């Protein structure tokens, strides 16, 4: 089945983690999503697609920014994340947004439905990215703008690489995935991203590098931040859960020590490197 591992992860432990930690994830990712959103002129939009919208924060935000009569649809394959996203609509008083639980690579989408598409880190998980982007383009009207943000290489993103390097001293961490394998870092190479979008029929492709400090686990001391940092990585969190707190303690201690230089005023500040990608359907 297409995207089997992703469905298992995002409708399983990964999705549940994101639902519980929605605010923390937003604190880290909001400023980066903002950069991609700035590449779209929302004043022109009638119906925008939020690709891989997750718990829906960007969808809700876009809904409040759109002009009268315009709407946004958040689409995501995760059942718990879209259920949670839907539950946020009424309390926020938002009536111009909706959520589809679907696989944007394989599910049939209505043609010419969207006049803009956006994604905050939701496009790097297709096991056949050209098929995924072609499907999305088919749902966009010709010439409609697409803008998304994705990660540069793990080595440029300490929020990921520091935990992995520290954990390696204690656990047998799996080898890193193949460079283009579906996952957060699949789009680290710009030539690859350009070629995927071209093959899917997109034009006017522009990819700009972006560096920005991101905040993680605000309001937490370094020890709590280390415990939560360990929870983000599925391999480390599985080890901590299995080994129990006592046996995992040296790893958490080492993480807290590694994080200390980045921890100020009860928040972790990490340099991040992303690509801001824009194109036209
Ligand atoms: C890193 S999360 C980002 C979530 C959200 N955009 C945010 O910034 O909070 C990636 C999202 O992409 C979704 N996703 C992965 N593959 C997908 C697919 N084939 N179709 C739809 N959504 C997908 C996941 O379920 C997950 O919610």
User: Mind listing the pLDDT tens digit for each residue in 33-85?
Assistant: 999 999 999 999 999 999 999 999 999 999 999 978 999 999 999 999 999 99
Q: Which of 20, 52, 135, 216 to mutate to test the pocket of ligand 1 (most atoms within 8 A of CB)?
A: 52
Ligand 1 pocket by C-beta < 6 Å: which residues? Answer: 3, 6, 10, 25, 29, 52-55, 57-58, 75-78, 81, 103-105, 120-122, 125-126
Whether 266 maps to a domain, the answer reads no
> Any idea what the CATH number is for the domain that residue 88 is in?
3.40.50.150
The boundaries of the domain holding residue 58 are: 4-153+176-213+272-280
* pLDDT tens sequence across 104-160: 999 999 999 999 999 999 999 999 999 999 999 999 999 999 999 999 999 999 988
Whether 233 maps to a domain, the answer reads no
Angle between helices 129-138 and 190-199 (to 10 degrees): 50
Closest C-alpha to ligand 1, atom 19:
103
8 A C-beta contact, residue 218 and residue 205:
no
* Distance from Cα 121 to the centre of ligand 1, integer Å: 7
- What is the total count of domains within the chain? 1
Neighbours of 88 (CB within 10 A): 17
Q: Ligand 1: which atom is nearest the Cα of residue 81?
A: 27
What distance in Å separates the CA atoms of residue 190 and residue 196, rounded to the nearest whole number?
10
Whether 112 maps to a domain, the answer reads yes
* Distance from Cα 84 to the centre of ligand 1, integer Å: 14
Whether 163 maps to a domain, the answer reads no
pTM of the model: 0.94
Q: Which of 8, 11, 37, 77 to mutate to test the pocket of ligand 1 (most atoms within 8 A of CB)?
A: 77
What distance in Å separates the CA atoms of residue 178 and residue 1, rounded to the nearest whole number?
20
pLDDT of residue 241: 79
Q: Ligand 1: which atom is nearest the Cα of residue 11?
A: 25
Q: Which H or E run contains 51?
A: strand 47-51
113-127, 161-175, 214-228: range with lowest mean pLDDT: 161-175
Whether 99 maps to a domain, the answer reads yes
Q: 114: which 2 tokens?
A: 């969207």
Whether 225 maps to a domain, the answer reads no
Q: Which of 4, 118, 122, 186 to mutate to test the pocket of ligand 1 (most atoms within 8 A of CB)?
A: 122
Instruction: Tell me the C-alpha to C-alpha distance, in Å, between residue 106 and each of 54, 76, 129, 131.
Output: 18, 12, 11, 8
Helices (H), the chain: 4-10, 13-20, 22-37, 57-65, 79-87, 89-92, 129-138, 158-168, 190-199, 222-232, 234-259
Residue 153's nearest CA partner among 37, 275, 36 is 275
What distance in Å separates the CA atoms of residue 237 and residue 243, rounded to the nearest whole number?
10
- Put residue 112 in one of left, alpha, beta given phi > 0 → left and psi -120 to 50 → alpha: left
Whether 243 maps to a domain, the answer reads no
Whether 238 maps to a domain, the answer reads no
């Amino acid at each position: 089945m297409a995207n089997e591992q992703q469905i298992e992860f995002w409708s399983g432990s990964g999705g549940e983690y994101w639902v519980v930690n929605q605010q923390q994830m937003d604190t880290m990712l909001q400023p980066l999503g903002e950069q991609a959103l700035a590449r779209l002129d929302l004043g022109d939009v009638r119906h925008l697609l939020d690709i891989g919208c997750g718990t829906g924060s960007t969808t809700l935000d876009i809904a409040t920014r759109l002009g009268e009569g315009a709407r946004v649809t958040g689409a995501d394959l995760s059942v718990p994340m879209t259920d949670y996203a839907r539950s946020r609509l009424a309390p926020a008083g938002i009536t111009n947004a909706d959520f589809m639980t679907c696989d944007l690579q394989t599910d049939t989408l209505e043609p010419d439905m969207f006049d803009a598409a956006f994604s905050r880190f939701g496009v790097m998980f297709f096991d056949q990215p050209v098929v995924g982007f072609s499907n999305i383009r088919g749902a966009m009207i010709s010439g409609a703008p697409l803008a998304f943000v994705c990660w540069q290489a793990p080595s440029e993103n300490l929020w990921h690489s520091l935990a992995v390097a520290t954990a390696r001293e204690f656990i047998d961490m799996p080898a890193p995935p193949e460079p283009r394998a579906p996952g957060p870092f699949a789009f680290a190479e710009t030539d690859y991203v350009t070629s995927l979008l071209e093959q899917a029929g997109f034009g006017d492709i522009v990819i700009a590098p972006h560096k920005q400090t991101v905040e993680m686990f605000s309001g937490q001391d370094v020890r709590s931040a280390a415990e939560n940092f360990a929870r983000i990585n599925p391999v480390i969190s599985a080890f901590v859960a299995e080994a129990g707190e006592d046996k995992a303690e040296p790893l958490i201690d080492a993480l807290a020590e590694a994080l200390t230089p980045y921890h100020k005023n009860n928040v972790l500040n990490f340099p991040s490197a992303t690509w801001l990608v824009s194109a036209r359907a």
